[in-house]
Amino acid sequence: MLAFCVSFLVAFLLMRFIKQNVVLADSSKTDLVNVDYAPKAGGLGVILGVCVVFVSDLAQGNLGYFLFYMLGGAVVFLSGFVRDMGFSLPSKICWVLKALGVCLAIVGLDIWLKSLGLGFEIPYTWGVVFSILVIVGFCNAMSVIDRFNGLSGGFALCVCLSMISVAISVDMFSVVNISAILGSAVLGFLALNFPNGKVLLGSG
């Protein structure tokens, strides 16, 4: 609930007070979406919603496993958010930063794609590299579909719900917690993104 409220509040404030700022606004229009100076920094609300829960739970001695997830996620977020702020960041540097953030998260959490279900296990190094490529590609794909109101947030929410379902079945409750917190924060953004696109997710 806390993640939802923070995410919604930040997105709402962006919509109300930064809507006319050309640095943070996407003024382009297409026949597919109805966007009129919609702030494109909704990702800020999502990550702040997750951060508030992380800090409050960490202060109570919980979610220690959450640290690398947040550190890696912050690097990935900032690599895109810099562009949302109107600053120029070469695509190559952006990709490298995303790869470093993802690498920090998966190595720190000791999670990577170990098998494709083909009867053999992927070696550690190749598994880490493959995981980085898949996740960085996924991040860029989310940025692309952000132009369609509700699609990026709805898809992210579906992913979180799927992760919760699978994680419960295999007793991975740390993944349940992370997915539930992220899903709640995404829902806060989605409340203002769909159907009218009052705020966009942005590259962050």
Mean pLDDT, 10 residues at a time, the chain of 204 residues: 92 74 48 54 88 82 76 90 82 91 89 85 90 91 84 92 94 87 93 83 83
Whether the model pTM is above 0.75? yes
CB 18 within 8 A of CB 24: yes
49 touches 6 (CB < 8 A): yes
Q: Hey, is 119 helix, strand or coil? A: coil
Check if the beta carbon of residue 85 is closer than 8 Å to that of residue 105.
no
pLDDT of residue 15: 78
Instruction: Output the six-digit token pair for 157.
Output: 């929410």
Gyration radius (Cα) of the chain, Å: 17
Distance from C-alpha of 14 to C-alpha of 36, rounded to nearest angstrom = 14
Beta bridge partners of 22: none
Q: What is the pLDDT of residue 56?
A: 83
d(CA 42, CA 12): 9
Quote the crossing angle between the two packed helices 66-84 and 173-193, to the nearest 10°: 20
Q: Residue 99 is which amino acid?
A: A
3-state secondary structure of 131: helix
Q: Give residue 20's identity as a one-letter amino acid code.
A: Q
Q: What share of the chain is helix, strand, coil (3-state, %, to 5)?
A: 65, 5, 30
Q: Residue 25 forms beta bridges with which residues?
A: 39
